[in-house]
A = this chain, B = another copy of it.
Amino acid sequence: MTYCLGIITQSGLVMAADSRTNAGVDHISTYLKLFDFSQSEERVLLICTAGNLSITQAVIAALQRDLKLPDGINLHNLPTLYEVARYIGGKLRSMEEQDRPWLQKDGIDFQCNLLLGGQIKGEEAGLYLIYSQGNCIQATRETPFLQVGETKYGKPILDRTLNYETPLAAAAKCALLSIDSTMKSNISVAPPINLVMYEANTFQVQHSLRLPVGDPYLVQIRKYWETSLKVAFEGMPEIDWHPQATNPKG
């Protein structure tokens, strides 16, 4: 599995991804899942990938190949972020068209989802989730985060601490906590963690981090968070039991 998330706030974007892939528990590897296709001063484009690795790698390779061609559309000449999302969705579709029948025959999961976050000059910053089918949805003020991969463990912390007005640095910490909660409960998600924070309207990724296994900050926040939860837990009001009165009978 994998866990990637993107957060959009009034002041910018946070994108984060773990690096674990697995094809069964006896085939666990480490792969980069956060890719920066930005064009300095012009556009910021960050892509996170989850799902079938051969397909997501092929999509990333196709995006890179198009950038090297003298003509044709590519990540750097499409005029809007929505068109970039659709273009990536098109790459996904064409890879699935090629490989799906072969994978399906052997019962191999060919699904994958991508996140696209960024900003193109003349537009607001935006965040999209591109589905395996090539269609996409956009994060909005009401739902300022999107997740792909192993999404459930890390959702409660986002639901409880995050909104569109959250300061960007806090959103970045929230993303790390969400990934850490997932790693604690599910071995299919693991470091290195890649984290990028983008301040809207700067058109430059100025904050980017790779946290490997045992990174002191990762260790520190896990310890801090566990201690904080334990303290909070110990202070929880006692349950007022009403013995028997409402005993559910079989």
Contact = CB atoms under 8 A, between A and B. Distances in A.
Interface string A32-61: 101111000000010100000000000010
Given A221-B236, A232-B232, A236-B224, A208 B159 contact: no
Interface stretch (A101-109, A134-142, A241-249): A241-249
A86 interface: no
A206 B241 CA distance: 9
Contacts of A210: 246, 248
Interface string A66-98: 000000000000000000000000000000000
Contact of A237 (B157, B174, B217): B217
Contact of A217 (B159, B240, B250): B240
A210 B249 CA distance: 12
B63 A250 contact: yes
A239 interface: yes
Given A153-B155, A207-B243, A170 B248 contact: no
Contacts of A174: 233
A220 interface: yes
A177 B230 CA distance: 12
Contacts of A228: 228, 232, 235
Given A35-B249, A169-B239, 14 more contacts: A35-B250, A152-B185, A156-B181, A160-B184, A169-B238, A173-B236, A173-B238, A196-B248, A205-B247, A208-B244, A209-B239, A209-B242, A224-B236, A229-B232
A160 B226 contact: yes
